[in-house]
Every structure is written in C-alpha cells, then in structure tokens.
Structure 1
C-alpha cells in the first residue's frame, strides 16, 4: 500500500499550495533545535505563521512516519487544505522555493544548491560520526580528524567564495538563500565544538553570514519567543550549544 505521504492523489493540492505564502505551518520535531533549526529559521525570516510541535508519544507517532523519523512539516491553507512533507532536506527545499530562497534564476539556484550540498556533507554524516562516538579517547581522535579532513577545508573554501561575493553575509547577490541559513547554523555548530576556529577576525566572510541571520528582524523575533528559548535551553543541555 502506498504510504499517505507518497499518494499521487495529493498532487493537485500540492501544486495549488506550493506557491502560496499565506498558509500556517507546524514543524513537528523534538524539543531541541537539531535538524529542524533551518526549517524554523526559513519560516521566521519569511514572516510565516508557524508553531513547533513536540510529539507527546513518540513511539506512537514513529509508526506513522514514512521513514520512522522527524522532522515533519504540516502546511494548512487558509481554506483548510492540508499537506505534510517528510525529511529535512525535502522540507527545507520546499520552503526555500516557496519563499524565494533558491535564487532568481537557474544559475543562482544551481550555485545555491552547490553550496548547500557542500555544507550538508559536513553538517550531516561527518559530524554524526562525532556525536555517535562513545569512548572519550576515540571521540577526541574522531573530533581532531573531522576538523582536519573536513571542517578546515570547508572553512577555507567557503570563506573564499563568500569573500568573492563581497563578504556581505550572502553567497549570491544580497538576498538570503537557503545556503546562507545552512552555513549560519554550521558556523554555530563548529564554534560550539572547536571554539574560535571561526571568528570575526580570522574568517570575516563566514562570520558575517552568522551575524546577518542573527540580525534579521523575523529571526530576532523568533529567538525572543518562549518556544525558541525552551529549544535553546534543551539543545545546550543535551549537546552543549
């Protein structure tokens, strides 16, 4: 049986709702920032009406998910239609298209997606190796290897390309893109794990991406909510940043 998420009968509703910006949204994830942080940030800087939903009974919810994981995005139109989207990357790209965060033409979109791919290679499977390690000595060794082999080259390349765009906090032109948001959160993660290996003085272009997001009025408003503060506190408690 086709899972409800993949039922082709939804195509007409998806096509109708995809360009609309007046929907309300629910981001279903655990009570930390985690992989849902970028999704929430997209909605915040875009001025969307959204809320975070933490599953009360994860064991029951898990069985209903297409891959047994969250986040899940639920979108509800003003006339009551509803769609749901699974998987972090799919959610982010859907929202990025909706809110204009994938460039203004095919070239910009391809460049932005290239930077997203490069950043996701670090933020996803590479850092997962560090968080999965249990033995303290092994964890220290893995951490050093990840930095040398993956994070350090990423810093050098992305600092250069951001500088080529004027060190203005964006990868392409002067507008926010999904690549900017991904990098802003990776910078925060890298600083949380390795300290000041990225700093305003040593990596001004990368640092500018982080502070540009943090200065966005919609994002500032989001960080001042009780929901964000609770997510932030739990994230710091569990992983330290």
Structure 2
C-alpha cells in the first residue's frame, strides 16, 4: 500500500486523479463527524465504496495511520494499487476533483470552495462549541449565540447566493457540487436541531431545494438504507445530538 506522501504513490495518484474506476474504503468511527462529507461524496456520486469501522483503534490501528487520526480513505486503483489518503478536507478535495464536483472551470472551483468553507464553518461552530462541550453553562451560552448570532446571517447569506443562481438547487450552474453536498449536511443538522425555525420550504425555498435535490439522488437514497448508515446515524444522534 502507498501512502499519500510515499514516492510510490506519486504515479498512482497522478494517473488516477480523474479516473472513476477505483474502489474505495473509508475508515472512520460509528458517527458522521469528520467523515460525513466524504461519505456523502462517495454515496451521491455512485462510487464503488464501503464504510469501514475501526476494530482496535487505540491499540493497533491508530499507529498504522499517517497522522494517528481518522478518517482515512483507501483507494484501490484499476491497476490494483492501493493508496492511503488521510485528513477529511484533503479527502473531500481529492474526491471532488475526481468526480467533477468543482464546476466547469477554475472560477467555478473558487466559488464552490468558498461556499463550502462558509458552510463548514457553521458546522464546525456547532460541533466544537456546543456538541462536544460538557460544561452546561458554557454550552447554554454558546447555543444561544449559535441561534441568535451565527445561524441567522448564515441562512440569509446562503439563501441569497442560491437565489442569485436561480434557486435551482445548486450553488454553481445547474450541476451537483461539493457545496451542495455540504449544505445538505448543514440543513440536516439545522432542521434536526431547530425544526422549521430557520429553514423550511416556505422561509428558505432556495436552501430547501438544495436539500431536496441532494436527498433524492438514487445512490444516496440506497446508502441511507444500509445497515452501516443506520449505525452511523444512530451514533451521531447519540453523541452529537443530530
């Protein structure tokens, strides 16, 4: 197996970057967490992949990864070589290039990555400042700030950008992008936590349309029927609350 920074991986990565015939294994824990977007990319694009959970993380598998953290993507190319790609953001970028999730040109890519960064910021805000916090008083304070200071301008701004693109369920052109996938995850989080207080078909039709369009992709719908998805979703709800 070749790791991302192993010289043996250079040729394989360069040859496979736009080749969609590879098979993938994504290793992460039994929750959405830092692997949510990567799993969504693999599911929505119809890639040949499977969800792998660590069996002995602390004692064995942790030391076998490049940085001692998950997720890690293992790609087996059509030539039979397996490449290890670590770090969630890097994996997202790699798969987005491979499956054409950055639009049609460099300008589109900048737009997609800009929107994606903004969406990730609101997800990270909740994840780090609320979901994993144990201090009840601090958690209550940050939840109130999230609901009054962070979330309203986020919703307003992204609704405006989506409206500018024709409210067609996409951020860029009329094509699925990484930003669409990331927003679908954010909307799922927001609706689960707040109901229709911020996002609904009536209040935010452009955001809602993205969520609807992503969720009806057949390969994603099939992934959500699997036992692995059920395990992940239940773990996320139990640990992170959405």
Same fold by TM-score, threshold 0.5 exceeded? yes
Give the deviation of 1:166 after TM superposition: 1.4
The structural deviation recorded for 1:4 is: 4.5
Q: Could you tell me which residue of structure 1 aligns to residue 239 of structure 2?
A: 238
C-alpha distance in structure 1 between counterparts of 2:88 and 2:105, whole Å: 24
Q: Which moved more, 1:112-121 or 1:185-194?
A: 185-194
How many residue pairs were aligned?
A: 239
Counterpart mapping for 1:134-213 below 5 A: 134-196=134-196, 197-213=198-214
RMSD, aligned α-carbons:
1.6
Deviation, structure 1 residue 125: 4.6
1:29-70 deviation line (CA, Å, top 9, x unaligned): 011222212111111221111000000001121122232210
Cα deviation for residue 191 of structure 1 reads: 2.0
**Which SS does the other structure have where 1:52 is aligned?**
strand
- 1:126 Cα deviation (Å)? 5.3
Q: Distance in 2 between matches of 1:240 and 1:128?
A: 13
**Counterpart mapping for 1:215-226 below 5 A:** 215-226=216-227
| Equivalent pair of 1:116/1:179 in contact (CA under 8 Å) | yes
Whole-angstrom CA distance in 2 between matches of 1:164 and 1:231: 35
Residues 4-43 of structure 1 aligned to structure 2 (within 5 Å): 4-43=3-42
Who is 2:95 aligned against? 95
Distance (whole Å) between structure 1 residues aligned to residue 173 and residue 199 of structure 2 = 23
Q: Give 5+ residue unaligned stretches, structure 1.
A: none
Q: Give the match's secondary structure for 1:63.
A: helix
Segment drifting more, 229-238 vs 173-182: 229-238
What whole-Å deviation, never above 9, does each CA across 1:56-86 have from its counterpart, x for those lacking one? 0011211222322101000001331111111
Range 10-19 or range 227-236, more displaced: 227-236
**In 2: Cα distance, 1:27 partner to 1:225 partner:** 15
Instruction: Name whichever of 120-129 and 38-47 sits farther off.
Output: 120-129
Residue 141 of structure 1 and its aligned partner are, at CA, apart by: 1.0
Separation of aligned partners in 2, 1:15 and 1:223: 32
- Distance in 2, matches of 1:142 and 1:26, equals 36
Higher mean C-alpha deviation, range 121-130 or range 215-224: 121-130
Does the CA contact (< 8 Å) of 2:132 and 2:240 recur in 1? no
Per-residue displacement from partner, 1:218-238 (whole Å, max 9, x unpaired)? 111111122212222222222
- Using the size of structure 1 for normalisation, the TM-score is 0.93
Tell me by how many angstroms 1:124 deviates.
1.9
Task: Give the TM-score taking structure 2 as reference length.
Answer: 0.93
For 2:239 and 2:3, locate their aligned partners in 1 and report how far apart those are by CA, in whole Å. 33
SS at match of 1:172: coil
* Matched ranges for 1:61-80 at <5 A: 61-80=61-80
- Asked whether the equivalents of residues 127 and 146 of structure 1 are also in contact (C-alpha less than 8 Å), the reply is no
Please report how far the alpha carbon of residue 89 of structure 1 lies from its aligned counterpart in structure 2 after TM superposition.
0.7
Q: Contact 1:76–1:82 at 8 Å: present in 2 too?
A: yes
